[in-house]
Amino acid sequence: MPWFIKQETFTAAMTSLSAEDRRLHCHAHRCWVEAQRNAGIAMASGFLVDDQHKPGGGGLLVFEAQSYESAVAFIRADPMIARNLVDWTLHEWKPVLGSLRA
């Protein structure tokens, strides 16, 4: 099954929220990711940090899906995407060397 990488960055709508509201949305996202993992979807999720180890640069989600179309449908169910709180890109990834254990 193909692997996909979704990269996301916060939208102005997200950055304009209070820190508490951002935490609530991030928590909903993490719960969604955990539910997908518990359902058997192979994936790894995390956030990006800058050279000072400060978050805010966005995040990555690496996961398996049947096709590009099914990958798009899958990530559109992510609460942060459904609420337009992140801009995102999606790429199918063709691993050449190594392996992932998600």
Tally Cβ neighbours within 10 Å of residue 11. 15
Domain ranges of the chain: 3-93
- pTM of the prediction? 0.84
Fill in the DSSP letter of residue 37.
Answer: H
pLDDT of residue 75: 95
Please classify residue 38 by burial: count the beta carbons closer than 10 Å to its beta carbon, then call 0-12 exposed, 13-18 middle and 19+ buried. Answer: exposed
Task: Please give the structure tokens belonging to residue 60.
Answer: 């990555």
Under the banding of pLDDT at 50, 70 and 90, the label for residue 100 is low
Decide: 67 and 2 in contact? Cβ < 8 Å. yes
Rounded to an integer, what distance in angstroms lies between the CA atom of residue 3 and that of residue 7? 13
**pLDDT per residue over 54-88, tens digit each?**
877 789 999 999 999 999 999 999 999 999 999 99
- Name the fold adopted by 3-93: Alpha-Beta Plaits (3.30.70)
Under the banding of pLDDT at 50, 70 and 90, the label for residue 97 is confident
